Amino acid sequence: MDRTEAQARIASLRTVIARHDELYYRRAQPEITDFEYDRLKRELAEIESRMPELAGGESPTDQVGDDRTEGFATYRHRERMMSLDNTYSEAELREFHNRLVRLLGRDDLTYVVEPKIDGLAVSLTYEKGKFTRAVTRGNGVEGDDITANALTIRSIPKTLKHTSGAPIPAVIEIRGEIYLTLAEFKRINQQREEAGEVLYANPRNLAAGTIKQLDPREVAQRKLEIVLYGLGYCEPMTGLPGSQHDYHQLLKDWGLPGQERLWKTVGPDQTWKAVQELDQVRSSFAYATDGAVVKLDSIGLQREAGATSKAPRWAMAYKFAPERAETRLNAITIQVGRTGVLTPVAELEPVRLAGTTVARATLHNRDEIGRKDIRVGDFVYVEKAGEIIPAVIGVNTARRTPECVPYVFPSTCPACGTPVVQLEGEVAVRCPNDECPVKVRRRVTHFASKACVDIDGLGVAMVDALVEKGWVKSVADLYRLRRENLLTLGKNVAKSMDNLLAGIEASKQAELWRFVHGLGIPHVGAAAAKDLAQKFGTLEALAEAKYEDFIADKRSVIEGIGETMALAILDHFNNPKNRALVQELISLGVKPTVPVKREATSAALAGKTFVLTGTLPALSRDEATAMIEGAGGKVSGSVSKKTHYVLAGEEAGSKLEKAKSLGVPVIDEAEFRRMVGQSG
């Protein structure tokens, strides 16, 4: 590469990296993987190092990515908040140690190896032990003040505990990471899938996007977590630990959420062994980890080593290369969701990935297919986004053949032939036809499911048959079904049809929240449906609700229901068809019940928080939840220090491990029954 070519490549790389910085840091909507992004920055750094005379001006290799966004006040860090140099190479990690040996003039260096949690960097300020401010990293000098949103994270204490021998400084900045657990990420995506909405790509993007919501009430809907591990400005420093390892313990003594696993090592061999061990155990963590952070243990030596313009010299992030597989894309199929969203799915030649066989993967949306130029017949790269959802992340164009032509996204719904639409500001392409048979099937299946009115005998196959016959075009039509029609579905069906009709009749008196959930209102899941049922008491009252019934004086009237959900509910019932459906259901004999909240029947459960995991011997998850709530307790989806008990059955997963690591009591069904005063 001559000087002219290098100059052109530097300019091109800086432009491309700047665009991806905007997408990643400001919008939380990256278009490429971290691995691909790091490769671009590494190429730029290598060219600039070979030809330093061309490296003048501002370069992204010398800067911290800027996450500041409109709508937030900025706040200047008392001490710069830096990023980390990173590598995917064992050799470079060992060279990191060798550089420190040369710099510090000693080879007996001790390190702390920490899990690198994939989230959004943040700095918390405590003044005289009181939480005063939360600020994102921003550009390293100043960041967005997200204090109001951070207050929704329950694990952030308002006041530091005085249980440690070390005095609490007058002012201290404590650095860490805001993230979403894999379970919460899965829960949110399941809700979106039920609503026929586009799924989020990974936990990091969702966490970053959530904390930058302008309404804290919306932030509170998603259970963000935080881990703290770093020291920023501190005055005075007197009495603070002299090592990174002891600093981690101090954070826990103060009541702050810290790293659940650390390795203290001496020299490069032990350090590399610890990194490998972390790679083996990280799948058991409740959150996504994309690497290991290696830090000098001695804080004194950290100061002596100093920093570059963007990163400390005493720390290095070793990033685990993403596990990916290459396989052929045999076809692209289109799924139509309950709300009409058309989601493209890659039909793959089956391939092993992260311990499972993957035959299908999400392609997200029409724009993603075009941007990545994904074609049927291509050999594609597949990764598991957030270690959960298989996704196609790129194409091996070197193996592309002439038969692989650009994919043409359908202009009409594959189920009903209606021209598709794309709403302004959305990437989703939708079928607007409310009578589209696939949309009808999905709406009816959702309504009849155990999570909603629970109609026994009305499974997917039966719903398909009823819709195909034209007998069911809305959920109200279920209550118009007649025995004489159902008997025409086949021989010897009388008993099963009688059971189905009995199930439909019984569902007329299902609990109100089940009907609310079954209506498929965007953003309204089971928990919100229960809150709405308690507030309004009838379907008619909910359908007639006004804005002030949800939001008054810019505050939520109903805990857990913010403005976004309120507007979604109002928009749903502003549609005459949806209001008419409520009246239809009532006229057909639907009489939802609203159970009176029972007082706690056991002092052991009153005010207690439970987490359920695994399969219980006799109780379903819904039954156990009802018993807990009926006895005054609460059920949470994730384990934290505030969890009182984990009720575990067979095949309990990461929640059980998390409970053990936090010392949360784990009970079985027999013990649980004794607590609520039942036997057997």
Q: Are 493 and 487 in contact (CB under 8 A)?
A: yes
Q: Point out the catalytic residue in the list 41, 116, 634, 642.
A: 116
**If 0-12 CB within 10 Å is exposed, 13-18 middle and 19+ buried, where does residue 450 land?**
exposed
Q: Please provide the CATH number assigned to the domain covering 3-62.
A: 1.10.287.610
Average pLDDT per consecutive 10 residues, the chain (680 residues; last block may be shorter): 84 85 75 78 86 76 80 91 92 96 95 94 95 94 92 92 82 95 84 66 85 78 91 90 94 93 96 95 88 96 92 95 89 89 93 85 88 94 74 92 94 95 84 90 91 89 91 94 89 87 94 93 82 91 94 79 87 93 95 70 72 84 81 76 85 76 86 76
pLDDT tens profile 329-378: 999 999 888 888 898 999 999 998 877 889 998 888 898 899 899 999 99
| C-alpha span between 74 and 92 (Å, rounded) | 36
- Sign of the dihedral through C-alpha 255, 260, 264, 267: negative
Q: Tens of pLDDT along 278-326?
A: 999 988 888 989 899 999 999 999 999 999 888 999 999 999 987 789 9
pTM over 0.85: no
Q: Where in the chain is the domain with CATH 3.30.470.30?
A: 74-183+207-319
Query: Distance between CA atoms of 657 and 539, rounded to whole angstroms?
Result: 42
- pLDDT at residue number 594: 81
In a 3-state reduction of DSSP, which class is residue 296?
strand
| CA–CA separation, 417 and 435 (whole Å) | 11
Long-range contacts of 532-540 (CB under 8 A, 24+ apart): 532/558, 532/561, 532/569, 533/592, 533/594, 534/594, 534/597, 537/512, 537/594, 538/512, 538/592, 539/512, 539/515, 539/582, 539/585, 539/586, 539/590, 539/592, 540/582, 540/583, 540/586
Query: What dihedral angle (degrees, nearest 10) is formed by the CA atoms of 592, 594, 595, 596?
Result: -160
Residues of the chain with CATH 1.10.150.20: 437-587
Neighbouring residues of 36: CB distance < 8 A, sequence distance ≥ 6: 394
609-675 has CATH 3.30.9.40 classification: no
Q: Phi/psi at 379 (nearest 5 deg)?
A: -90, 120
3-state SS, residue 549: helix
Model pLDDT for residues 204-251, shown as the tens digit of each residue: 888 988 888 877 777 887 889 999 999 999 999 888 899 999 999 999
Report yes or no: 630 and 598 within 8 Å, Cβ to Cβ. yes
- Three-state SS string over 207-264 comes to HHHHHCCCCHHHHHCCCCEEEEEEEEEEECCCCCCCEHHHHHHHHHHCCCCCCCCCEE
| Whole-number pLDDT of residue 523 | 78
Q: Find all residues with CB under 8 Å of 293, minimum gap 6, and list them.
A: 84, 113, 114, 115, 116, 315, 316, 317, 318
Q: Say which residues have a Cβ less than 8 Å from residue 325's Cβ, sequence separation at least 6.
A: 351, 352, 353, 358, 381, 382
- CATH of segment(s) 74-183+207-319: 3.30.470.30
> What is the rounded end-to-end Cα distance, in angstroms, of the chain?
78
Catalytic, 116? Answer yes
Return the CATH class of domain 437-587: mainly alpha
Provide, rounded to the nearest whole percent, the portion of the chain with pLDDT above 70. Answer: 95
HSE toward the beta carbon, residue 440, CA cutoff 13 A: 24
29: Cα separation from own chain's centroid = 13
- Supply the pLDDT for residue 602: 56
What is the per-residue pLDDT for 194? Answer: 59
